[in-house]
């Protein structure tokens, strides 16, 4: 069974731009969560989607948004990029909304200059 | 606020030894606990999960959970240089997410 895939793997953007990251969960998994990982803060929860609905959201500004499609694929968008948004963005999939066993994709390394 | 505490390390053990990684958590009501391994430059990989008090063994890995004391540990027997990585402890949050510790860096010396 294929794992979680994320595209693109690397991205360089300038301040003020926006970016869209994509995630395809493991086949059969319907819940997708997004995390931001930085050396200082570790893994921080962004949001979770299940059945095309955002179930929960972490403590991030409104510039961070996401959505999920009917095939469970998910995208996250960051608008008006700031230098501090440079991080590894990780998508994790789980079977459903009650399973906490999450499997991570390879991540997208975003650098904001 | 729910938190996870881990010793950042680095924890250095000789090849063949037992590596012991510990984690304490703040939410007494948590039911699910996870250990992830993250190699440098890679994403976290789920290696163990435990839901009940006691020990759970999987190959060279043993997870131990003590809910009364609010700690969970990971033992790696016969440590190998390939086990050198950062180990992240996590438990369920109230938002359908996992709350992660900052990780313990393990170095296994040949």
Q: What is the pLDDT of residues B46-66, one digit of tens each?
A: 999 999 999 999 999 999 999
CB contact under 8 A, B100 and A105: no
pLDDT for res A75? 98
Rounded to whole angstroms, the Cα distance separating B33 from B73 reads: 10
With beta carbons under 8 A apart, name residues in chain A contacting B46.
101-104
Per the CB < 8 A criterion, the answer to whether B59 and B74 are in contact is no
Q: Which of B46, B90, B96 sits opposite A97 (nearest CB)?
A: B96
Give me chain B's average pLDDT, please.
Answer: 92
Q: How confident is the model at residue B28 (pLDDT cuts 50, 70, 90)?
A: confident
Residue B23: the pLDDT is 95
Set of chain A residues whose Cβ sits within 8 Å of the Cβ of B49? 100-101
- From residue A31, give the alpha-carbon distance in Å to each of A5, A26, A27, A54, B17: 14, 10, 11, 10, 39
CB A7 within 8 A of CB A110: no
Interface of A with B in 2-31 (CB under 8 A): 31
- For residue A42, give the nearest of B46, B93, B103 by CB distance: B103
Does A58 contact chain B (CB < 8 Å)?
Answer: yes
Q: Digits of tens for pLDDT over chain A (113 positions)?
A: 689 999 999 999 999 999 999 999 999 999 999 999 999 899 999 999 999 999 989 999 999 999 999 999 999 999 999 999 999 999 999 998 777 899 999 999 999 99
Rounded distance between C-alpha atoms, residue A7 and residue B99, angstroms = 24
A101–B34 C-beta distance less than 8 A: yes
**Quick check: B26 pLDDT over 80?**
yes
pLDDT (tens digit per residue) in B65-94: 999 999 999 999 999 999 999 999 999 887
């Amino acid at each position: 069974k294929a794992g979680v895939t994320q595209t693109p793997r690397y991205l360089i953007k300038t301040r003020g731009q926006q970016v869209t990251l994509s995630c395809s969960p493991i086949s059969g998994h319907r819940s997708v969560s997004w995390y931001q990982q930085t050396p200082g803060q570790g893994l921080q929860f962004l949001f979770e989607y299940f059945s095309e609905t955002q179930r929960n959201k972490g403590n991030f500004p409104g510039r961070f948004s996401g959505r999920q499609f009917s095939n469970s694929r998910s995208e996250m968008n960051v608008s008006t990029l700031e230098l501090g948004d440079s991080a590894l963005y990780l998508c994790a999939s789980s079977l459903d909304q009650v399973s906490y066993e999450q499997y991570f994709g390879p991540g997208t390394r975003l650098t904001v200059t | 606020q729910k938190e996870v505490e881990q010793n950042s390390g680095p924890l250095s053990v000789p090849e063949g030894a037992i590596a012991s990684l510990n984690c304490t958590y703040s939410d007494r009501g948590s039911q699910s606990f996870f250990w992830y391994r993250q190699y440098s430059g890679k994403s976290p990989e789920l290696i163990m999960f435990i839901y009940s008090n006691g020990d759970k063994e999987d190959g060279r890995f043993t997870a131990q959970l003590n809910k009364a004391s609010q700690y969970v540990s990971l033992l790696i027997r016969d440590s190998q240089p390939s086990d050198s990585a950062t180990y992240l402890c996590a438990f369920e949050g109230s938002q359908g997410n996992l709350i992660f510790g900052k990780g313990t860096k393990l170095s296994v010396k040949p």
